[in-house]
């Protein structure tokens, strides 16, 4: 399923929840919507689900040579931000009900359910009422409910929230499995480490607007965050000496033998390293790329500065 979103906007009274946002999601991609609370992620998700209509702009959905102006319910699997199922019903009854609403036969639903319950290690507990489960396990049931009918598009609003690190990893595996099955996944999240492992494309938003968009590499480039090379020398070296050997680079001394060298995109790692090895002996070289978390914080800080200016 391919989605082309063009200049959508949504206002709630005087508040512009989403302003002129455009993006494209290709079939089989995992697409992440990132941003602080109130950035407009859930508003975009609700427009994609068809719960609200954009005030302006368009959403074009293409699936198997068919085109739609919204995601058809039968092709959609959805995990809402405000989630919950029927607490006084068992896992099996909850899932069976939702699967049958999706049009699955009881037999097919039970088969699909058995597979996903196995994945999330909930098979033994399928007859327990939902209220007896921990929050994390309830979350897993909710995730299963979203994919039981094998939709073409899965939209997950904060799938990692409320999960411990182990279960977050399980969700990463789960999402990779969805991608492997050809499903297109849209997710919103605050757990940057998880997103970095998963997302093919991402959209970083603040106050309803796009701050950064593209692949992780694109975003890093757009953010202008530099790679860092950490070097340790066998003997003490003066900072001024190093600066002479590498005149274009920003170098910081961490100790008399340890230095941090910032590399802009145009600087070659191998060329810089070659230059250094000609002059001195290195005991350790370590590359540090900025992670999504740093990138997110920097981008948000830059956005706030621009906004205040």
Partner 1 sequence: MISKQSIIVAKWEFLRFFKWKQQLISYLLMMSVVAAVALWSYFTDESRSVYRIAVPANFTISNSEQFEFQRPTIALSEQLAQLTQQQTWHGVVTLADNEVVLHTLAAKKWQQQLETELNDFFRQQYALELNLTAEQLAQLEQPISLEFAYLDENFKGKDTPEKMIALAVLILLFIGLSTAFGQVLLSITGEKQQRVTEQLYAIVTPQQWMDGKVLGHSLSAMKAMLTSALVMLLSYIVVSVFVSDNGIDFNWLNCTVLAWLVPFALLGVLLSAYFMGAIAASIDDPNTSGKGAVMMITWLPMLFTFLVIDSPTGNAMTVLSWLPLTSFAAMPVRMAMVELAWWQPALSLLLLIASLYWLRRLAGRIFLRGMQMYGKEPSWGQIVGWALSNKTE
> Which span sits near partner 1 by CB under 8 A: 44-52, 58-66, 166-174, 294-302?
44-52
Q: Do the beta carbons of residue 145 and residue 98 sit within 8 Å?
A: yes
Q: Compute the distance between CA of residue 23 and CA of residue 44 in angstroms, rounded to an integer.
A: 11
> Which span sits near partner 1 by CB under 8 A: 23-31, 74-82, 162-170, 291-299?
74-82
CA proximity to 3, closest of 52, 50, 56, 55: 50
By beta-carbon proximity to partner 1, the closer residue of 61 and 295 is 61
Going residue by residue from 1 to 40, which x/- string records binding to partner 1, judged by CB under 8 A? ----------------------------------------
Give the other-Cβ count within 10 Å of 241's Cβ: 10
By beta-carbon proximity to partner 1, the closer residue of 85 and 282 is 85
What is the H or E stretch that residue 156 is in?
Answer: strand 153-157
Going residue by residue from 45 to 64, which x/- string records binding to partner 1, judged by CB under 8 A? ----x-xxx-----------
**Pure H helices in the chain:** 41-49, 91-101, 106-119, 135-147, 165-180, 192-198, 216-223, 239-245, 269-279, 292-308
Going residue by residue from 109 to 148, which x/- string records binding to partner 1, judged by CB under 8 A? ---------------------------------x--x---
Give min distance, CB of 256 to partner 1, in A. 59
Among 4, 85, 133, 251, indicate the residue that binds partner 1 (CB under 8 A): 85
Among 36, 87, 224, 265, indicate the residue that binds partner 1 (CB under 8 A): 87
CA proximity to 205, closest of 183, 228, 188, 220: 188
């Amino acid at each position: 399923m391919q989605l082309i979103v063009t200049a959508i906007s949504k206002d709630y009274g005087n508040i512009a929840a989403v302003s002129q946002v455009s993006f494209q999601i290709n079939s089989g991609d995992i697409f992440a919507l990132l941003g602080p609370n109130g950035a407009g992620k859930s508003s975009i998700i609700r427009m994609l689900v068809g719960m609200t209509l954009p005030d302006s702009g368009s959403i074009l959905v293409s699936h198997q040579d068919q085109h739609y102006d919204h995601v058809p319910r039968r092709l959609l699997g959805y995990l809402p931000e405000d989630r919950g199922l029927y607490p006084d019903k068992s896992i099996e009854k909850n899932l069976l009900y939702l699967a049958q609403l999706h049009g699955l036969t009881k037999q097919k639903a039970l088969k699909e359910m058995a597979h996903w319950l196995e994945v999330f290690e909930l098979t033994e507990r399928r007859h327990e009422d939902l209220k007896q489960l921990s929050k994390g396990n309830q979350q897993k049931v909710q995730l299963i409910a979203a994919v039981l009918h094998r939709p073409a598009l899965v939209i997950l609003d904060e799938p990692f929230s409320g999960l411990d690190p182990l279960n977050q990893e399980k969700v990463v595996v789960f999402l990779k499995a969805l991608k492997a099955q050809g499903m297109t996944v849209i997710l919103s999240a605050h757990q940057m480490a998880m997103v970095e492992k998963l997302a093919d494309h991402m959209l970083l938003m603040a106050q309803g607007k796009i701050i950064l968009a593209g692949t992780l590499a694109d975003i890093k480039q757009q953010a202008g965050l530099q790679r860092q090379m950490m070097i340790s020398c066998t003997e003490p070296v003066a900072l001024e000496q190093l600066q002479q050997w590498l005149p274009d680079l920003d170098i910081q001394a961490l100790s008399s033998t340890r230095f941090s060298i910032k590399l802009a995109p145009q600087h070659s790692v191998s060329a810089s390293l070659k230059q250094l090895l000609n002059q001195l002996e290195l005991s350790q070289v370590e590359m540090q790329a900025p992670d999504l978390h740093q990138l997110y914080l920097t981008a948000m800080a830059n956005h706030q500065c621009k906004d205040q200016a």
